[in-house]
Amino acid sequence: MYRIDFNKLRFLICDDNPHMRRILRTLLHSFGAREVYEAEDGATALEMYTHYVPDIVVTDWSMPIFDGLELAQMIRQPESKGNPYAPIIMLTGHSEKRRVTVARDAGVTEFLAKPISAKGLYQRIMNVVANPRPFIKTKTYFGPDRRRNTTNTYIGPERRGSGEVEVLQQPSLLEKARSAI
Q: What is the DSSP code (8-state) at residue 173?
A: S
pTM (2 d.p.) = 0.87
Other beta carbons less than 10 A from residue 180's beta carbon: 6
Q: Tens digit of pLDDT for each residue in 80-101?
A: 778 899 999 999 998 889 999 9
Q: Which residue has better confidence, 153 or 137?
A: 137
Alpha carbon distances (Å) from 165 to 86, 91, 145, 150, 180: 20, 29, 11, 14, 37
Task: Encode pLDDT of 48-65 as tens digits.
Answer: 999 999 999 999 999 988
Residue 107, by phi and psi: left (phi above 0), alpha (psi -120 to 50) or beta? left
Q: How confident is the model at residue 157 (pLDDT cuts 50, 70, 90)?
A: low
Cα atoms in the 13 Å half-sphere on the side-chain side of 126: 10
List residues bridging with 4 in a β-sheet.
178
Question: What are the CA-CA distances from residue 85 to residues 23, 45, 118, 136 (Å)?
Answer: 26, 16, 24, 11
